[in-house]
Chains A and B, each alone.
Chain A
Amino acid sequence: MGKDSNGSTVAAPDFSNWSCPLPLAGYPTIVMGHGGGGKLGNELVEHLFVPAFRNAALENLGDAAVLDLPAGRIAMSTDSFVVQPLFFPGGSIGELAVNGTVNDLAVSGAIPRFLSASFILEEGLPMAKLAAIVDAMAKAAAAAGVHIVTGDTKVVERGHGDGIYINTAGIGELRPGIAVGPRNARAGDAILVSGTVGDHGMAIISVREGLEFESQIVSDCAALNGLIADVLAVAGLAVHAMRDPTRGGLASTLNEIAQASGVGIVIDEASLPVRPQVQSACELLGFDPVYVANEGKVVFFVAPEAAEQVLTALRAHPLGREAARIGTVTAEHPRLLVARTAMGSNRVIPLQIGEQLPRIC
């Protein structure tokens, strides 16, 4: 049991799931010293990060990780994570930080290999929370088959951060011959999405705003490299473009690709996979699920003759069971995303200006 600043007894953090907690247990919360480069910081590395992320490159504890990579091109990406709340149905900032960078590499056609992880911790963050987040990162990295090989920790004063911010960067090997990119969509391409849209954004909003929905909405946070590998294995060069529709949702991704490739996109609204509870929550708040964030979905632009094959491969993967063909690339109305409504009419779906705002009535 430790003491807080008032001298009263506080419960020790729950390290029951942790492998080597004891030397950290004297500090139930993060203090400025954990970022100071001294003993406290070393203890975090030695007893938290290294045991969790354990791999040869990391255990050298040098100023830089030294990596063996095959000859050829590599892809590199980075992303920062500032989500609130830190834990939400279906995941935490830890899974997001690993899967986000893994997915950015995977949709570039690369096989993700190594990640870095930088933590900006707020003074007072419970050690148990940090341990749970690090544990989530370790499990996500293992599931995605990547190693976290280098990292950094800084601590900011209480009130200067939201508990924890994480930055990850990653590198992956580019598959030879694969040329996927937002500029490569072609007229005639079939557009497929790997599953339901809007799950992550609505899961976050439902806990952040304290909305009490009857059924829980769970984030779709997941690493997509396995699913993408399966698709590339069957369709290879027939995959022209792919992207994970995160912030801004499916609509933003499709608009970006329409603009980058100079093509038009038509989607069939009725074919969009949306969970009933996500649709209901969106109706309540006046949101459109096409603008809501996803963290475990990917959109494929594939040659029409390969569409069925890709759909079959997607549905055979646990993350792609609800995959659907949602639209087509057209040479008409270049740079515009158009939805065919259930009424049989057409509407343009533009890029959003900012985030969607709950409406008055």
Chain B
Amino acid sequence: MKYLTEFRNGEIAQRMAREIHQVATRPWKIMEVCGGQTHSIIKNGIDQMLPAGIEMIHGPGCPVCVTPLELIDKALAIAAQPGVIFCSFGDMLRVPGTDCDLFQIKSKGGDVRVVYSPLDAVELAVKNPDRQVVFFGVGFETTAPANAMSVHLAKRRGLKNFSLLVSHVLVPPAIEAILSAPGHRIDGFLLAGHVCSVMGYWEYPPLAERFKVPLVVTGFEPLDLLDGIRRAVIQLESGRHEVENAYERIVTFEGNKPAQKLLAEVFEVCDRAWRGIGVIPQSGWRLSEAYREYDAEQRFQISGIRTVESALCRSGDVLRGLIKPAECPAFGKECTPRHPLGATMVSTEGACAAYFNYGRFISAEELAGAGSGLTGASNG
């Protein structure tokens, strides 16, 4: 298949892995920012192909995972109201709030719908003028243009029954926060390719300069990831710290200019709470003054939310790259995809779910004992 199979070629992957083995002389810790990359690394066993010293640290780039519990509780409260059609992307439905999730709201009679685009929610608002249609607009810069377009269209069409429950977060401030934290362990970054397809990578050179880290714009297929890692390792070995583009078939330096123009019109930068991490200054977007009337939080005025996070869950440490999922004492015991304690176990892009779903809950000793070679791919 065009643009898929070419980037999943096992032989080329082995060749690239060998090259990484040849250039790596020291241990390096590289963080992939995006949850989609984490998922692909674990699914394809990319981390198993690397030299022992190259450690992939999983970053905070799963939009479902970092959405604050308080906002999820607000979503549940709005979705439960009569007269509301609550629209969301599918993977938010199973994320537990303090008391329940959107599936349970739906089973109790809430009108919760999975849509594939926020523009579908706008159409629902047009077709249901007597109902309030709310779209749960979470995500990084990747999903922001479509969300921005939805309110832009709603305003242009004069819709009074559409609103956006918005919690957008931004990658550059998150990287800055991770690198500013004392005791951080990161030597280099793989930048999220799809975020950069919208934003370009003009925001990153100051970060590379200030923190002396290489940042490589990287895609999601196995060969993309290996190329990103290879380039980061080469920079690290030669003492360079530059922004480099390993996803040229999609990403340009400037990014998508019309999208950026729309984003600047519809959103404004604000402080945002990241679940498990805390408030990061100037790290998110909210609707700008001109579009504030489409803000579901303003329209519904939900108050009295009291959130309770699990005392056992260490998803915050996982999101900051301080521990690997299997190092959390609750992993695979109290916390499984069936009974998740934190969002990193719920979302398919969450690091904990990726580890659990692809069998990384089995200890290395058990697997070695089974003699199946499950823990390590042959590096040729």
Contact = CB atoms under 8 A, between A and B. Distances in A.
Interface string B200-242: 0000000000000000000000100000000000000000000
A336 B349 contact: no
Nearest to B36: A361
B10 A333 contact: no
A341 B43 contact: yes
B374 interface: yes
A171 B43 CA distance: 42
Which of B8, B114, B370 has the most chain A CB within a 10 Å cutoff?
B370
Interface stretch (A17-25, A91-99, A109-117, A278-286): A278-286
B348 A361 contact: no
A139 B374 CA distance: 48
Nearest to A348: B359
A353 B338 contact: yes
B44 A343 contact: yes
Contacts, number: 118
B116 interface: yes
Nearest to B17: A343
Given A341-B44, A359-B89, A211 B116 contact: yes
Nearest to A337: B359
B116 A360 contact: no
Interface stretch (B138-146, B179-187, B268-276, B320-328): B138-146
A336 to B, nearest CB: 7
Contact of A343 (B222, B356, B358): B222
A70 interface: no
Contacts of B360: 348
B250 to A, nearest CB: 13
A344 B359 contact: no
A280 B377 contact: no
Looking at A348, A359, A360, A361, which has the most chain B CB atoms within 10 Å of its CB? A360
A2 interface: no
A85 interface: no
A170 B117 CA distance: 43
A313 B288 CA distance: 66
B365 to A, nearest CB: 13
Contacts of A350: 356-357, 359
B1 A343 contact: no
Contacts of A60: none
B337 A344 contact: no
B362 interface: yes
Interface in B143-166: 143
B1 A357 contact: no
Interface string B32-54: 00001000001111101100000
A357 B139 contact: no
B222 A357 contact: no
A3 interface: no
Given A343-B45, A343-B222, A345-B45, A358 B91 contact: yes
A343 B373 contact: no
A361 B193 CA distance: 12
Interface residues of A, number: 33
Nearest to A334: B370
Contacts of A216: none
Contacts of A360: 63-64, 89, 91-92, 138-139, 143, 349
Interface string A319-349: 0000000000010110010100111111111
Interface string B350-379: 000000111110100001001111100110
Contacts of B1: 276, 279-280
Interface string A174-198: 0000000000000000000000000
B94 A357 contact: yes
B90 interface: yes
B252 interface: no
Interface string A283-323: 10110000000000000000000000000000000000000
B139 A338 contact: no
B4 interface: yes
Most A CB within 10 A of own CB, among B63, B90, B362? B90
B194 interface: yes
A280 B46 CA distance: 22
A343 B46 contact: yes
Given A359-B89, A360-B139, A342 B10 contact: yes
Contact of B90 (A264, A336, A357): A357
Contacts of B370: 264, 332-333
A211 B117 CA distance: 11
A7 interface: no
A358 B374 contact: no
B89 A358 contact: yes
B336 to A, nearest CB: 8
Interface in B233-262: none
9 contacts: A338-B359, A338-B374, A341-B10, A341-B43, A342-B9, A344-B45, A345-B48, A358-B116, A359-B89
CB-CB nearest 7 A-B residue pairs: A348-B359, A345-B45, A357-B90, A345-B377, A358-B90, A347-B358, A342-B10
Interface of A: 209, 211, 264, 266, 270, 276, 279-280, 283, 285-286, 330, 332-333, 336, 338, 341-350, 353-354, 357-361
